[in-house]
Amino acid sequence: MKKMFLLVLLLAVSQFPVKAQTNESTVTLDASAQEYKIDKNIYGQFAEDLGHLIYGGIWVGPESSIPNIDGIRKDVVDALREIRVPVLRWPGGCFADLYHWMDGIGPRDKRPETINTNWGGVTDDNGFGTAEFLQLCKLVGCAPYFTGNVGSGTVKELSQWVEYVNSDNISTITKLREKYGRAKPWGVKYWGLGNESWGCGGHMMPEYYADQVRRYGTYMHNYGNYRLFKIASGPNGDNYLWTSVLMGDAGPYIDGLSLHYYASATQHTAADFDESGWFDIMKKSLKMNELITKHSAIMDKYDPLKRVALVVDEWGTWYKVEPGTNPHFLYQQNTMRDAVAAACNLNIFNNHCDRVRMACIAQVVNVLQSMILTKGDKMILTPTYYVFDLYKVHQDAMMVPVQVRLSNYEFDGGTLPAINCSASIDSTGMMHISLVNIDPDSTENVAVDLKAFEADKISGKILTAGKMNAHNTFENPNAVKPVRFADFKLKDNNLEVDMPPMSVVTLAVNGTIRMKAGTAIELKNPGHGIAYDYYELGEAERLPGFSALSPDSSGMLDSLVLPKEVREDNFAVRYEGFIRIPQSGLYTFYTNSDDGSALLIDGRVVVNNDGRHAPEERSGYAELSAGYHRIEVMYFQATGGMEMSASIKGPNLKKQIIPAGMLFTTH
Ligand code: AHR
């Protein structure tokens, strides 16, 4: 059965009750190899008009005795703010392809009553529509993500929804918005073109749907500075043909391709399982890694620069509904098994953040693997909620590549890797390591080699339970909750962590990145200045591949400023030269840019601040010896605000814009 490594008496002094065995795994984290940012949108949520998610779970109406803000539950908003929900998808799901957005605007008492034919045939008074959803997003502090109706709607209808939400022009549609109380557009970026178009969204063939994406997308306009991020309905699980056809036929017309995959076991309710049910859900959850790897490989063929994001906008566990509830409402409990499954998925997404740049767990309140369950005016937080709370530290942090050598969790002839892990470094330089032990029986002793990261202070939190199906109820809402974790030891920059059975741990490691010292270059005839190349581009989401482009102009500058000839939109600049480092030591480099930028020292990416974004500062470290080092800075501007600066901090050097006096060229 289980591998018997060490029967550790030490466990007696461990914080948590553990069963008989301890296994061993090793994890290596290479902080010097950070390259990709973990997009915060990986921590997104999904809110479909289904069961008691919207009605009861979020929307109670302004007249309700349940504390609310403009009809939206205050307790739910507060809980979602706490886990920093970055993006929320609405109104479906399958519901999206039967939703006509005009039913949900204007005075609520005049809105039509419609039938939710997909989810139980219940009457929908459309009290929660476009403005209410956008108000919810504002309260939660997240970006809205609309799924447009491509199944039963029309091109005109979706085109006008975009106009209603984003246009500042004068038209009958925007006047309607003004009449209904909103003069200024909201400016929504994320738009889905249908949902599960291979299934409930119209049962289309991939070639036909790819044409629909091109057609619908053509009439979803960018108004003012609002540039849409269009997400096509992607494959169901392992339908690789769908990905291939969509990328081939519609790839250039989209910004994201969705993926839907559920770990389902619908014969039993959420808390009714034994170890075979546990193993089954772990196995199905870990399959996400294979799906992403294979879909990404197909996307790489069509899109090697990874412009199109893989958007896992439906994922999670799916069980039989709770007894006595409407089978169409998909209401399920949420146990320690779901928490561990969620953490496995989040580790997978973090580790694939080069391609996966958004994910939305299904669903946020009262449906499937929810964060929150409500009953009347009561609300409880699920074990899955607490995983999102533990993992929020990874949002927008730089992913640290992980290598693992694992022991196995074995059950009934099946084998799974017992441990999985992801790690990142945030903008303050703090490393966060999230570890999961999926084995419900054995403690895992995990040796973490921190390599280039010199650890100083460490703190931790853990989510675990004594029983696989432990869960929170309205009577006992705090049965499963994270607590402080201290079962780790640091010795010679190796961290040893004792992971109790079925546990999720996040460690915050304060420390310093130590890189191999970059050796200085001998420069013949150095002179002040830095060379640049200027490129005019089409619309871009990321830095271009400069080696394949010819510059529109080139020249010399005193410092890293924008050359005079830059236009307002859609261009890139690449600077190249040498920086003179005054004394050997650890240097921090920063870029602050709108849109993306990167800074390389001696050919290594030190600051990766890529992507289309508002002004944002990011930093990285380089240990350098005194003398000249090669420096490259790349910047691109899409539309809207334009900003770029590069700074340095080091021994006896306060943080400052890299001064002209440090920049050199050769003559
Ligand atoms: O999340 C529930 C349903 O699952 C969604 O409506 C649909 O897209 C998927 O099949």
Q: Are residues 432 and 306 part of one domain?
A: no
Cα 195 to ligand 1 centre (Å): 8
- Summary mean pLDDT of the chain: 93
Residue 392 has pLDDT above 50, yes or no: yes
Give me the pLDDT at residue 516, please: 67
Cα 334 to ligand 1 centre (Å): 18
Q: Are residues 212 and 334 part of one domain?
A: yes
Question: Does the beta carbon of 27 sit less than 6 angstroms from any atom of ligand 1?
Answer: no
Per-residue pLDDT, averaged over 500-529, amounts to 89
Choosing from 24, 48, 163, 196, which is the catalytic residue? 196
User: Which ligand 1 atom is at minimum distance from the Cα of 330?
Assistant: 2
Residue 387 three-state SS: helix
Give me the pLDDT at residue 429, please: 81
Q: Are residues 543 and 480 part of one domain?
A: no
Per-residue pLDDT, averaged over 517-533, amounts to 89
Beta-bridge mates of residue 374: 379
Q: Is 314 an active-site residue?
A: yes
Mutate to test the pocket of ligand 1, among 195, 313, 328, 330 (most ligand atoms within 8 A of CB): 195
Indicate the pLDDT class of residue 37, thresholds 50, 70 and 90. confident
Question: Does the beta carbon of 594 sit less than 6 angstroms from any atom of ligand 1?
Answer: no
Residue 21 has pLDDT above 80, yes or no: no
Question: Does the beta carbon of 342 sit less than 6 angstroms from any atom of ligand 1?
Answer: no
Q: CA-CA distance, 534 to 421, in Å (whole number)?
A: 41
Question: Does the beta carbon of 314 sit less than 6 angstroms from any atom of ligand 1?
Answer: yes
Nearest of 86, 43, 46, 81 to residue 343 by alpha carbon: 43
Contacts of 138 (CB under 8 A, 6+ apart): none
Contacts of 203 (CB under 8 A, 6+ apart): none
Question: Does the beta carbon of 610 sit less than 6 angstroms from any atom of ligand 1?
Answer: no
Looking at 357, 378, 396, which one is the last position of a domain? 396
DSSP assignment letter at 474: S
Does residue 9 form part of some domain? no
User: Which ligand 1 atom is at minimum distance from the Cα of 93?
Assistant: 6
Question: Does the beta carbon of 92 sit less than 6 angstroms from any atom of ligand 1?
Answer: yes
Q: Are residues 339 and 436 part of one domain?
A: no
Q: Higher pLDDT residue, 645 or 544?
A: 645
pLDDT digits (tens, 9 = 90+) for 357-369: 999 999 999 999 9
Least confident of 29-38, 62-71, 139-148, 235-244: 29-38
Question: Does the beta carbon of 48 sit less than 6 angstroms from any atom of ligand 1?
Answer: yes
User: Which ligand 1 atom is at minimum distance from the Cα of 119?
Assistant: 6
Where on the phi/psi map is residue 42: left (φ > 0), alpha (ψ -120 to 50), or beta?
alpha
Give me the pLDDT at residue 568, please: 94
Residue 195 has pLDDT above 50, yes or no: yes
Does residue 71 form part of some domain? yes
Mutate to test the pocket of ligand 1, among 94, 266, 313, 370 (most ligand atoms within 8 A of CB): 94
Indicate the pLDDT class of residue 571, thresholds 50, 70 and 90. very high
Beta-bridge mates of residue 72: 59, 69
User: Which ligand 1 atom is at minimum distance from the Cα of 368?
Assistant: 1
Q: CA-CA distance, 101 to 369, in Å (whole number)?
A: 27
Residue 615: give the domain boundaries.
Answer: 527-665
Give me the pLDDT at residue 83, please: 98
Per-residue pLDDT, averaged over 305-310, amounts to 90
Dig out the tokens for 651 from the structure.
């021994």
Looking at 396, 417, 441, which one is the last position of a domain? 396
Per-residue pLDDT, averaged over 186-198, amounts to 98
Taking residue 199's Cβ as centre, other Cβ atoms within 10 Å add up to 15
End-to-end CA distance of the chain: 70
Residue 5 has pLDDT above 70, yes or no: no
Residue 62 three-state SS: coil
Per-residue pLDDT, averaged over 116-123, amounts to 97
Q: 542 near 611, Cβ under 8 Å?
A: yes
Q: 58 near 75, Cβ under 8 Å?
A: no
Give me the pLDDT at residue 517, please: 65
Per-residue pLDDT, averaged over 536-545, amounts to 88
Q: Is 196 an active-site residue?
A: yes
In terms of Cβ atoms closer than 10 Å to its own Cβ (0-12, 13-18, 19+), residue 327 is: exposed
Q: Using N-to-C axis directions, what is the helix angle for 240-250 and 206-218, rounded to 10°?
A: 40
Q: Are residues 171 and 80 part of one domain?
A: yes
**C-alpha dihedral over 82, 380, 104, 316, to 10 degrees?**
80
Give me the pLDDT at residue 81, please: 98
Q: Are residues 197 and 157 part of one domain?
A: yes
User: Which ligand 1 atom is at minimum distance from the Cα of 95?
Assistant: 6
Per-residue pLDDT, averaged over 489-495, amounts to 91
Least confident of 9-23, 43-57, 572-586, 592-606: 9-23
Per-residue pLDDT, averaged over 117-136, amounts to 97
Q: CA-CA distance, 279 to 416, in Å (whole number)?
A: 9
- DSSP string computed for 217-276: HHTSPPBTTB--EEEE---BTT-HHHHHHHHHHHGGG-SEEEEEEEEEEEEEETT---HH
Give me the pLDDT at residue 586, please: 84
From residue 282, how far is each of 45, 245, 417, 419, 593 by CA, in Å? 21, 31, 10, 11, 41
Give me the pLDDT at residue 519, please: 83
Percent of the chain with pLDDT over 90: 82
Indicate the pLDDT class of residue 4, thresholds 50, 70 and 90. very low
User: Which ligand 1 atom is at minimum distance from the Cα of 92?
Assistant: 6
Q: CA-CA distance, 595 to 632, in Å (whole number)?
A: 17
Question: What does R_g of the chain's alpha carbons equal in angstroms?
Answer: 26
Percent of the chain with pLDDT over 70: 96
Q: Higher pLDDT residue, 556 or 610?
A: 556
Indicate the pLDDT class of residue 1, thresholds 50, 70 and 90. very low
Cα 93 to ligand 1 centre (Å): 5
Residue 19 has pLDDT above 70, yes or no: no
DSSP assignment letter at 335: B
Pairing, β 530-536 against β 571-581:
antiparallel
Question: Does the beta carbon of 39 sit less than 6 angstroms from any atom of ligand 1?
Answer: no
The protein residue with its alpha carbon nearest to ligand 1, atom 6, reads 93
CATH code (residue 129): 3.20.20.80
Does residue 473 form part of some domain? yes
φ, ψ dihedrals at 71, nearest 5° = 95, -5
Choosing from 24, 132, 314, 541, which is the catalytic residue? 314
Give me the pLDDT at residue 249, please: 97
Residue 492 has pLDDT above 60, yes or no: yes
Question: Does the beta carbon of 195 sit less than 6 angstroms from any atom of ligand 1?
Answer: yes
Q: Are residues 426 and 384 part of one domain?
A: no
The protein residue with its alpha carbon nearest to ligand 1, atom 8, reads 93
Distance of CA 447 to the CA centre of its chain: 27
Mutate to test the pocket of ligand 1, among 149, 193, 196 (most ligand atoms within 8 A of CB): 196
Cα 119 to ligand 1 centre (Å): 10
Does residue 12 form part of some domain? no
Peptide bond into 211 cis (omega under 30): no
Per the listing, tokens 């039993």 go with 268
Q: 168 near 223, Cβ under 8 Å?
A: yes
From residue 199, how far is each of 149, 235, 659 by CA, in Å? 14, 10, 58
Dig out the tokens for 135 from the structure.
């108000």
**C-alpha dihedral over 77, 82, 84, 87, to 10 degrees?**
-20
Query: Measured on CA atoms in the order 128, 130, 132, 133, is the torsion positive or negative?
Result: positive
Q: CA-CA distance, 67 to 60, in Å (whole number)?
A: 9
User: Which ligand 1 atom is at minimum distance from the Cα of 363?
Assistant: 1
CATH code (residue 650): 2.60.120.1560
Least confident of 501-505, 532-536, 621-625: 621-625
Nearest of 63, 44, 230, 69 to residue 139 by alpha carbon: 69
Domains in the chain, number: 3
Cα 200 to ligand 1 centre (Å): 9
Does residue 341 form part of some domain? yes
Give me the pLDDT at residue 10, please: 31
Residue 16 has pLDDT above 80, yes or no: no
Q: 276 near 224, Cβ under 8 Å?
A: no
Cα 389 to ligand 1 centre (Å): 24
Does residue 519 form part of some domain? no
Taking residue 13's Cβ as centre, other Cβ atoms within 10 Å add up to 8
Cα 54 to ligand 1 centre (Å): 15
Indicate the pLDDT class of residue 39, thresholds 50, 70 and 90. very high
Q: Are residues 420 and 284 part of one domain?
A: no
- DSSP string computed for 301-313: HH-TT--SEEEEE
Secondary structure element (H or E) that encloses residue 442, with its range: strand 442-449
Give me the pLDDT at residue 36, please: 85
Does residue 4 form part of some domain? no
Q: Are residues 623 and 569 part of one domain?
A: yes
Cα 246 to ligand 1 centre (Å): 20
The protein residue with its alpha carbon nearest to ligand 1, atom 3, reads 93
Distance of CA 566 to the CA centre of its chain: 33
Query: Measured on CA atoms in the order 49, 53, 55, 60, is the torsion positive or negative?
Result: negative
Q: CA-CA distance, 656 to 529, in Å (whole number)?
A: 18
CATH code (residue 415): 2.60.40.1180
Nearest of 200, 294, 203, 213 to residue 246 by alpha carbon: 213
Tell me how long the chain is: 667
Mutate to test the pocket of ligand 1, among 200, 264, 313, 361 (most ligand atoms within 8 A of CB): 200
Q: Are residues 590 and 473 part of one domain?
A: no
Q: 441 near 503, Cβ under 8 Å?
A: no
Q: CA-CA distance, 90 to 110, in Å (whole number)?
A: 22
Give me the pLDDT at residue 14, please: 41
Looking at 396, 417, 440, which one is the last position of a domain? 396
Query: Measured on CA atoms in the order 300, 209, 88, 139, is the torsion positive or negative?
Result: positive
pLDDT digits (tens, 9 = 90+) for 600-627: 998 878 888 888 888 988 888 888 999 9
Q: Widest CA span of the chain, in angstroms?
A: 83
Contacts of 278 (CB under 8 A, 6+ apart): 337, 411, 440, 468, 502
Mutate to test the pocket of ligand 1, among 99, 193, 314 (most ligand atoms within 8 A of CB): 314
What amino acid is encoded at 572 in this protein?
A
Least confident of 8-12, 289-293, 398-402: 8-12
Nearest of 406, 403, 389 to residue 462 by alpha carbon: 389
Distance of CA 582 to the CA centre of its chain: 39
Cα 343 to ligand 1 centre (Å): 21
pLDDT digits (tens, 9 = 90+) for 269-298: 999 999 999 999 999 999 999 999 999 999
Pairing, β 229-232 against β 190-193:
parallel
Cα 21 to ligand 1 centre (Å): 40
Taking residue 29's Cβ as centre, other Cβ atoms within 10 Å add up to 27
Nearest of 392, 363, 357, 368 to residue 190 by alpha carbon: 357
Question: Does the beta carbon of 361 sit less than 6 angstroms from any atom of ligand 1?
Answer: no
Does residue 518 form part of some domain? no
User: Which ligand 1 atom is at minimum distance from the Cα of 118?
Assistant: 6
Residue 298 three-state SS: helix
Secondary structure element (H or E) that encloses residue 337, with its range: helix 336-351
Question: Does the beta carbon of 94 sit less than 6 angstroms from any atom of ligand 1?
Answer: yes
Question: Does the beta carbon of 196 sit less than 6 angstroms from any atom of ligand 1?
Answer: yes
Least confident of 199-213, 229-243, 443-457: 443-457
Q: Are residues 414 and 392 part of one domain?
A: no
The protein residue with its alpha carbon nearest to ligand 1, atom 2, reads 93
Q: Are residues 333 and 417 part of one domain?
A: no
Cα 239 to ligand 1 centre (Å): 16
Least confident of 49-53, 222-226, 483-487, 546-550: 546-550
Q: 421 near 453, Cβ under 8 Å?
A: no
Dig out the tokens for 368 from the structure.
């499937």
pLDDT digits (tens, 9 = 90+) for 57-114: 999 999 999 999 999 999 999 999 999 999 999 999 999 999 999 999 999 999 999 9
